[in-house]
Amino acid sequence: MLQVIYGSTRAQEMDRLVDWTEEMKQSFVAQQFLAQHQYYQQNYKGADFWIIENNKTPIGRLYVHSNFQGKEIRIVDISILPAFRGKGIGGRLLEDLQQVAKALDRPLSIHVEVFNPARNLYTRMGFKMISETNGVYHLMQWN
């Protein structure tokens, strides 16, 4: 299921690859998912890797490290399947995480790709950009 959720985040990109067969696209997504999953496992030891459910149906994933570098809560990854986007689910999850961060007196942070539409949600919810990586990722933080 995690790979399916990951694949949904790459669907638009894969749709633009008109010269690729479906098998090629699926193989690429599987390879990229595995690489990302291994990276997260190695670089975010101690993080929680959760499946988001709606009526016992998996609709997304939330990876969170509640003690990242001993000083903050880091949202490693949050993904919602397309059919469930725009329904307030992500906002409610962020509100819950903000409450946890407030209770622990820690900042809440996330890396966001510059072109990711969810960046607007983070901004509306009070996240501020604190740094940029390679012009591609913004590190956003809520205090």
Indicate the average pLDDT of the chain.
92
Q: Where are the domains of the chain?
A: 2-142
Hey, how many other C-beta atoms are within 10 angstroms of the C-beta on 77? 22
Q: pLDDT for 59-86, tens place per residue?
A: 999 999 999 999 999 999 999 998 999 9
Q: Note the maximum CA span of the chain.
A: 51
For residues 92-119, give the mean pLDDT. Answer: 94
Identity of residue 42 = Q
Let me know if domain 2-142 sits in CATH 3.90.420.10: no
Give CA–CA dist 129/112, Å, rounded: 9
Provide the H-helix boundaries in the chain.
2-15, 22-43, 89-104, 118-124
Cβ–Cβ under 8 Å, residues 52 and 4: no
For residues 49-68, give the mean pLDDT. Answer: 94
What pTM, to 2 d.p., does this model score?
0.86
